[in-house]
Amino acid sequence: MYIIDTNAVVDFYDRYYCPDVFETLSRDVNAIAAQNKVFLISQVIEELDRNLNRDSLSEFKNLQLNRLPESQSVQINVAEITRYLEKSNRPKLVTNFLKGADIYLIAQAIVHGKKIITNERGLYNTNSKIYIPAVARHYNIETLELVDFFRHEGLCY
């Protein structure tokens, strides 16, 4: 159902919904994860290894979320998204977007029909950044912020 972006994990564990404070929410999110509704990709795991504090990373890895495999279909979609972005005439922004997990999140969502959980809010690309929601929208991929994900799953306190 969902693929989770690095920033959503960091925001959940280290910024806004720290599990030691929001125990019930954390328990409920863990239960959703145990139902195989939330998936990871290897590029996000690599970013988390660099960006999440050690305790949070250990707790997150205990969820044992399923990873979506890389496939030829994913690579074909990465190439298609790259061609689409290169039409923007913003080579520096495209290069930055291609360095991270974002393009793979979108390609995986296309291939597997998943929604993307991200806390990026940009519905339109700007002169300074290419946003996941803006690119995903071009491919009819739904993006949700963490709070929207909670609502989508009926979490209310």
Listed in sequence order, the DSSP H helices in the chain are 6-10, 23-34, 42-51, 54-61, 72-86, 91-99, 102-112, 132-138, 146-152
The residue assigned the tokens 């950044």 is 129
Q: Which pLDDT score is estimated for 18?
A: 85
Q: Which of 40, 3, 7, 15 is nearest to 120 (CA)?
A: 7
Q: What is the pTM of this model?
A: 0.91
Q: Mean pLDDT in runs of 10 for the chain (157 residues)?
A: 94 88 90 92 93 84 85 97 88 90 97 96 72 95 96 93
Q: Which pLDDT score is estimated for 127?
A: 67
Q: Which pLDDT score is estimated for 64?
A: 75
Residue type, 103: I
Q: Which pLDDT score is estimated for 71?
A: 95
Residues in the chain: 157
Q: Which pLDDT score is estimated for 126?
A: 63
What domains can you pick out in the chain, each with its CATH number?
2-152 (3.40.50.1010)
Q: Name the strands in the sheet holding 66-67, side by side, starting at the edge strand that comes first in the sequence.
A: 66-67, 38-40, 2-4, 115-117, 143-144
